[in-house]
């Protein structure tokens, strides 16, 4: 479903009981991952999907240790991806972000804790707030075996702790990453007063600042 919707449509598209982001009250109790990847020299890459990439990109741009964030499409069977194609919900791709980070400043496990706490609601299935369809699913795309093990262990840890009132819908997948069109890059930063951004994405950044002040920038 296209995300460029009239402001009045949000009340219709968001059913009762569906939050736009993970509630801060619940997220505040989410524990840090017991398993993590030791810091190493050199930059690393994480790929995460959690609804519209505008908000995901906006959140991680405010995390200390993150050097670059690119909006794009991950997974899927096609060898290329574009917004028009992915929006048809026939390519299997998810809107995602590629995060380049310094593991000596922020760990992969910390990025995942932000992902589950502030960046999106991991209990929503094939949607995030007003955006519906598999391309808006919650999914982690590990870039190596170490990331896969940490992600699997953390999902199991959060499930056992009953950190959320509903089951975690996040999937662990594989597949390439394709950068989105130029007009999607830095969209939140360039359009801070857009109604969609104010309703859906500003609260995510606010949650990041409230929950993780030590890594907020």
**Unique residue bearing structure tokens 């999907």:** 49
* Phi, psi torsion values for 155, nearest 5 degrees: -60, -40
Where does residue 162 rank: exposed (0-12), middle (13-18), buried (19+ CB within 10 A)?
A: exposed
What is the rounded CA–CA span in Å between residue 167 and residue 162?
8
Longest dimension (CA), the chain: 49
CA of 99: how far to CAs of 31, 45, 48, 57, 96, in Å? 22, 5, 8, 8, 10
- Do 200 and 207 contact (CB within 8 A), yes or no? no
Active site residues: 52
């Amino acid at each position: 479903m296209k995300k460029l919707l009239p402001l009045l449509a949000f009340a219709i598209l968001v059913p009762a009981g569906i939050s736009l982001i993970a509630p801060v009250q619940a997220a505040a109790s989410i524990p840090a991952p017991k398993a993590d990847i030791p810091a190493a020299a050199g930059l690393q890459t994480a790929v995460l999907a959690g609804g519209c990439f505008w908000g995901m990109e906006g959140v991680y741009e405010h995390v200390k240790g993150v050097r670059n964030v690119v909006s794009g499409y991950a997974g899927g069977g096609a060898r290329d991806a574009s917004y028009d194609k992915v929006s048809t919900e026939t390519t299997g791709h998810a809107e995602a972000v590629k995060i380049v980070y310094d593991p000596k400043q922020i760990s992969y496990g910390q990025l995942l804790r932000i992902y589950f706490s502030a960046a999106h609601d991991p209990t929503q299935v094939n949607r995030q707030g007003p955006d519906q369809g598999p391309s808006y699913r919650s999914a982690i795309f590990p870039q190596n075996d170490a990331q896969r093990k940490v992600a699997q262990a953390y999902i199991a840890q959060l499930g056992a702790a009953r950190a959320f009132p509903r089951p975690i819908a996040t999937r662990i997948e594989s597949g390439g990453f394709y950068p989105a069109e130029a007009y999607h890059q830095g969209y939140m930063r360039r359009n801070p007063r857009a109604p969609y951004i104010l309703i859906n994405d500003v609260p995510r950044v606010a949650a990041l600042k409230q929950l993780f002040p030590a890594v907020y920038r």
